[in-house]
Amino acid sequence: MKIRFLIILVTFTTIRMASQNSEQGSFYPLIKGQSKTLTWYKDKYREVIKDTVTLGGEIYNHIAQIFPPKNTIDIYLRNSNDTIYFYNTVKKTHMPFFGIRPVVGETIGNGTIVEVEAKLKTPKGKLTDLLVVEMNYSNGAQDTRYYKKGLGLVAVKNKNKLICYYIADETK
C-alpha cells in the first residue's frame, strides 16, 4: 500500500513539473502565482495568475489585473487542445483566444499571427523573440499584441502607438 501511494505521488509530481515546464515555454503560460508588471497608457498594473475556478463546466485560471489603488479587472483563461480560451462572464460563453503553437497567417479567435521571433523597443528596453498577433474585435477595434515565451503578453500597440509594455521586476 505504501509503495502504491509513493508511486502515485511521484507520478503526480512528475506530471505537474512537466506541465509547468511546458507552460514556461508557452507564449501564454497559465502558471498559478505568476505575476508581472505592465503599463497601460500612463498607469502601471500588476497581472497575477490566481487560483482556478469552474465556469460553464470548464476549469479556468483566474487572472487579476490589479490597477492601484483599488481597481481590479478579473479575466478567466484556460488551455485546451493547444488553444487558450477566454470565458466571457457577460455572455457566459467560451471563446477561442490564442493558439499555443503559432503559425504565421493562422487566425484563432480574434487574432491573426503575423510574426514569430520579432523584436520591439520599449521605454524599458528591447524585447526579443516575440510572437506578434493582430487582433480584430467585433466592435471594429484593432490592436497588435506581443507575447514572450514564459511571460505571455508583454506589449500592445494601437494605431502603431505603444500603449502597453512589460516592466521587468527589479531585483535587489
Buried b (16+ CB within 10 A) or exposed e, 84-123: bbbbeeeeeebebbbbbebeeeeebbbbebeeeebebebe
User: What would the pLDDT profile of 68-107 be if each residue is shown by its tens digit?
Assistant: 999 999 999 999 887 899 999 999 999 998 777 788 999 8
User: What would the pLDDT profile of 116-160 be if each residue is shown by its tens digit?
Assistant: 999 999 999 899 999 999 999 889 999 999 999 999 999 999 998
> Taking the domains of the chain in order of start, what are their residue ranges?
27-167
- In the predicted structure, residue 172 carries a pLDDT above the cut 80: no
User: What would the pLDDT profile of 2-57 be if each residue is shown by its tens digit?
Assistant: 443 333 333 333 333 334 334 557 888 899 999 999 999 999 999 999 999 999 99
Query: What is this structure's pTM?
Result: 0.80
Q: Computed from CA positions of residues 101, 107, 109, 111, in that sequence, does the dihedral angle turn out positive or negative? A: positive
Q: Give the pLDDT of residue 23.
A: 54
The answer for residues whose C-beta is within 8 angstroms of residue 148's C-beta and 6 or more apart is 27, 127, 129, 130, 131, 154, 166
- In the predicted structure, residue 111 carries a pLDDT above the cut 80: yes
Q: Give the pLDDT of residue 12.
A: 36
- The percent of residues in the chain predicted with pLDDT above 90, rounded, is 63
Q: Give the pLDDT of residue 100.
A: 75
41, HSE (Cβ side, Cα atoms, 13 Å): 1
Q: Give the pLDDT of residue 170.
A: 56
